[in-house]
């Protein structure tokens, strides 16, 4: 049986996990059942592109999300690639078939008033940990820095004279991020407290907790806890603050190319998702403020 040969190939040669193989099996079996509604038995060599397109329509008509359809289609695509390369079929019916477009969810971000409440509020303790947490939150919001970039910052990466940070991003690419007077002052105050706190003066990490460079675990959980105090949004994370930085910049008139450079995006297309976010925010405000705003299409 061809399907079993394929599943065994996934297990033995590709070393796929049990759950992954099960997912492939389910997707192929679902297509098999669909075809068998019209035929007594599936002949994998005679399946046509039209059969697959009808299956896609059937799945979508029955409430399957675009992402689910694409997962099922991916399993079938891999199956036919296996059949074709091993000579079990003479043609691959999926060569001209594309799945439904998968919409990317808009990035979640904090409102400016929420960030003002978080950074200017009285809920930050007057301890080294409180100062550290506040500085980290301010750094995320003021620069749009990535989590890994923030953790990797050394004291020497801060240029107070020019008001810039030197960060190492994805694929070890370095870029320079400017910062303003408010962050400069806070960094100066933080460094004084940091130097008094740490015992090892040779430690060059900018953000230190318990004598060593902060961990991803510490930052992630701290941000989640702090953001949850001012928002009811689920899945609060450091990346949400990066989204918040980009959205705030665009909402306040920044050029999208400038935002792209600040974020370290290789492509402008990646940055453009934030223009959709700001437009959705405009629609929401219009709907609340205009007397007939409720009629606006969503």
Q: How many angstroms separate the CA atoms of 47 and 94, rounded? A: 10
Residues 77, 134, 146, 260: which is the catalytic one? 146
Q: How many angstroms separate the CA atoms of 285 and 208, rounded? A: 41
- Tokens 């970039």 — which residue? 149
Q: How many angstroms separate the CA atoms of 124 and 131, rounded? A: 7
Residues 170, 216, 284, 290: which is the catalytic one? 170
Q: How many angstroms separate the CA atoms of 139 and 91, rounded? A: 55
- Tokens 């959980």 — which residue? 221
Whether 58 sits among the annotated catalytic residues: the reply is no
Q: How many angstroms separate the CA atoms of 77 and 93, rounded? A: 9
Q: Is residue 134 within 8 Å of residue 209, measured between CB atoms? A: no
Whether 216 sits among the annotated catalytic residues: the reply is no
Whether 243 sits among the annotated catalytic residues: the reply is no
Residues 72, 242, 243, 260: which is the catalytic one? 242
Whether 274 sits among the annotated catalytic residues: the reply is yes
Residues 3, 54, 184, 265: which is the catalytic one? 265
Q: Which residues are catalytic?
A: 146, 170, 239, 242, 265, 274
């Amino acid at each position: 049986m061809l399907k079993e040969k394929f599943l065994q190939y996934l297990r033995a040669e590709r070393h796929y996990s049990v759950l992954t193989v099960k997912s492939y099996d389910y997707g192929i079996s679902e297509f098999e059942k669909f075809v068998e509604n019209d035929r007594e038995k599936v002949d994998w060599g005679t399946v046509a592109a039209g059969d697959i397109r009808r299956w896609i329509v059937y799945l979508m008509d029955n409430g399957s999300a675009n992402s689910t359809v694409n997962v099922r289609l991916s399993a079938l695509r891999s199956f036919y690639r296996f059949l074709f390369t091993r000579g079990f079929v003479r043609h691959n019916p999926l060569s001209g078939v594309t799945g439904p477009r998968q919409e990317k969810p808009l990035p979640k971000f904090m409102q400016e008033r929420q960030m003002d409440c978080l950074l200017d509020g009285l809920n930050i303790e007057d301890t080294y940990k409180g100062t550290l947490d506040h500085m980290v939150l301010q750094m995320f919001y003021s620069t749009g820095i990535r989590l890994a970039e923030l953790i990797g910052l050394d004291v020497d990466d801060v240029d107070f004279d020019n008001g810039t940070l030197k960060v190492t991003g994805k694929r070890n690419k370095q870029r320079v991020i400017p910062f303003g007077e408010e962050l400069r002052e806070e960094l100066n105050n933080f460094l004084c407290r940091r130097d008094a706190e740490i015992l090892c003066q040779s430690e060059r990490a900018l953000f230190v907790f318990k004598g060593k460079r902060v961990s991803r675990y510490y930052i992630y959980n701290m941000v989640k806890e702090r953001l949850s105090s001012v928002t009811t949004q689920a899945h609060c994370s450091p990346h949400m603050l990066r989204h918040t930085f980009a959205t705030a910049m665009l909402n306040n008139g920044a050029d999208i190319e400038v935002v792209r450079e600040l974020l370290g995006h290789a492509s402008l297309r990646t940055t453009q998702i934030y223009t959709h976010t700001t437009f959705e925010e405009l629609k929401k405000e219009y709907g609340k403020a205009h007397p007939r705003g409720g009629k606006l299409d969503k």
